[in-house]
Amino acid sequence: MRMKEYHKILCSSVKDKRVGNHEVEHCFGKRYFYYHGNCVCFVDDEKKTYTLSFCGYGGSISTKNCLAGYREYFTGINYKEENPIPIYNYEISHDAKSC
């Protein structure tokens, strides 16, 4: 998976930023990444951890690619994924974890 340009822009941003349907919000050493208004990635920069979430939307390739890009970026800078989830074999369930 090759990261998209929005991953690079948002992940390197030091302030709140929006790129199309993607955005990042900064709050006291934590970052929240949104896709279509849903929090799909939560990052704790102090602990160097991140958490991915389908927020109930697991069927689309674009959501899977979005999550895979964040995973690639944050594992590449040695952040640890908390509660890892499978991305490409995810099935939608009614109890899907949400941010």
In a domain, 48, yes or no: yes
Q: Is the pLDDT of residue 83 over 90?
A: no
In a domain, 89, yes or no: no
In a domain, 50, yes or no: yes
Instruction: Express each pLDDT in 20-75 by its tens digit.
Output: 999 999 999 999 999 999 899 999 999 999 999 988 766 688 888 899 999 999 99
In a domain, 86, yes or no: no
Question: Based on the structure, what is the number of domains in the chain?
Answer: 1
Please give the model's pTM, rounded to 2 decimal places: 0.83
Say what the pLDDT of residue 88 is: 63
Say what the pLDDT of residue 44 is: 96
In a domain, 88, yes or no: no
Say what the pLDDT of residue 11 is: 96
Which residue, 87, 86, 2, 81, is CA-closest to 42? 81
Confidence of residue 92 (pLDDT cuts 50, 70, 90): very low
In a domain, 32, yes or no: yes
> Which domain does 38 fall in, by range?
5-81
- Tell me how crowded residue 24 is: count the other CB atoms within 10 A of its CB: 22
In a domain, 94, yes or no: no
In a domain, 96, yes or no: no
Q: Take residue 40 and report the two structure tokens written for it.
A: 């799909």
